């Protein structure tokens, strides 16, 4: 039986933001997805997290059912402001932030700017590329080509070359929802992976947290983890050794196990 409660919209930072709510019990957890992951694609994770948390999953601007318009700002600073203003509008005095990939970068920027209301920071394989650093390993063309296919109408099988290890159900959801991802927003976010210095935010973090990395993802390397340990010593590190960048898609049980061990709760 699904724990999904409802979707809802909030006007924050001057735009309409859409969220999905699951469970409704326990401490509040806001889940921030990655660059081309509308909120609905994280529903299978939200269904598990509700065993302990009141889970809200955000559609970032330019994705899913949130505001999208040509010429809009969709950079890291803007998305971090969306999150903080969203919390203001909803009157949230505290929250756990769980961010994956781009969403983890947004979580870092938001927590660096306003640590008071963020109880814990759960970072899942954030890109640590930036000015003067090696490039993010997934080229922009990978995203743009698949979005253009989805706009025309695409099947799960036609998307399989872009994510060959994914289960059929996840490919089907991506085929259904990828067209809602604004190419312009994705171009801005991907450029930000290389232009925004997320490392400058790390020493500003005052929130305890977890940094979970993918052993097979190529997004974070051992030298990155060593640098992060110095810059943000309050981030406990762990690795899902057999998973690629989309950790819950590749090794769902170890994702829940390691997350649960850090939070001292049981998701299994």
pLDDT, averaged across the chain: 97
Owner of token pair 């998973």: 243
Residues 52-96 have pLDDT tens digits of 999 999 999 999 999 999 999 999 999 999 999 999 999 999 999
Residues 142-201 have pLDDT tens digits of 999 999 999 999 999 999 999 999 999 999 999 999 999 999 999 999 999 999 999 999
Sequence-separated (6 or more) residues with CB below 8 Å from residue 21:
4, 5, 6, 7, 8, 54, 55, 56, 57
Render the burial of 97-127: b for 16+ CB within 10 Å, e for the rest: bbbbbbbbbbbbbbbbeeeebbbbbbbbbbb
Tally of CA atoms within 13 A in the half-sphere of 23 that contains its CB? 21
Owner of token pair 């933001």: 17
Integer Cα distance of 34 and 174 in angstroms: 13
From first CA to last CA, the distance across the chain in angstroms is 16
**1 has a pLDDT exceeding 90:** no
Q: What is the pLDDT of residue 254?
A: 98
Beta carbons of 100 and 32 less than 8 angstroms apart: yes
Beta carbons of 120 and 235 less than 8 angstroms apart: no
What CATH number does the domain located at 4-134+197-263 have? 3.40.50.1820
The vertex-26 CA angle with 262 and 66, nearest 5°, equals 95
| Nearest residue to 81 via CA among 8, 33, 12, 17 | 12
The structural domains of the chain, with segments of one domain joined by +, span 4-134+197-263
Integer Cα distance of 175 and 172 in angstroms: 5
Share above pLDDT 70 across residues of the chain, in percent, rounded to a whole number: 100
Residues 22-61 have pLDDT tens digits of 998 999 999 999 999 999 999 999 999 999 999 999 999 9
């Amino acid at each position: 039986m699904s724990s999904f409660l409802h979707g809802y919209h909030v006007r924050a930072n001057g735009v309409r933001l859409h969220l999905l709510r699951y469970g409704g019990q326990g401490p509040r957890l806001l889940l921030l997805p990655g660059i081309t992951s509308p909120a609905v694609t994280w529903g299978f994770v939200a269904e598990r997290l509700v065993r302990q948390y009141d889970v809200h999953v955000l559609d970032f601007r330019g994705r899913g059912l949130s505001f999208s318009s040509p010429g809009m700002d969709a950079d890291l600073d803007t998305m971090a402001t969306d999150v903080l203003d969203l919390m203001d509008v909803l009157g949230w005095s505290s929250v756990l932030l769980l961010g994956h990939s781009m969403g983890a970068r947004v979580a870092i920027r938001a927590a660096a700017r306003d640590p008071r209301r963020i109880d814990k920071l759960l970072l899942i394989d954030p890109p640590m590329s930036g000015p003067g650093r090696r490039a993010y390993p997934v080229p922009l063309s990978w995203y743009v080509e698949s979005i253009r296919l989805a706009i025309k109408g695409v099947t799960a099988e036609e998307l399989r070359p872009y994510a060959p290890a994914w289960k059929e159900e996840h490919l089907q959801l991506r085929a259904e929802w990828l067209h809602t991802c604004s190419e312009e927003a994705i171009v801005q976010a991907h450029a930000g992976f290389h232009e925004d210095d997320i490392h400058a935010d790390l020493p500003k973090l005052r929130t305890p947290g977890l940094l979970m990395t993918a052993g097979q993802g190529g997004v974070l390397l051992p030298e990155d983890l060593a640098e992060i340990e110095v810059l943000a010593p309050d981030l406990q590190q762990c690795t899902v050794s057999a998973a690629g960048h989309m950790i819950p898609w590749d090794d769902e049980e170890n994702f829940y196990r390691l997350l649960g061990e850090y939070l001292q709760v049981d998701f299994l």
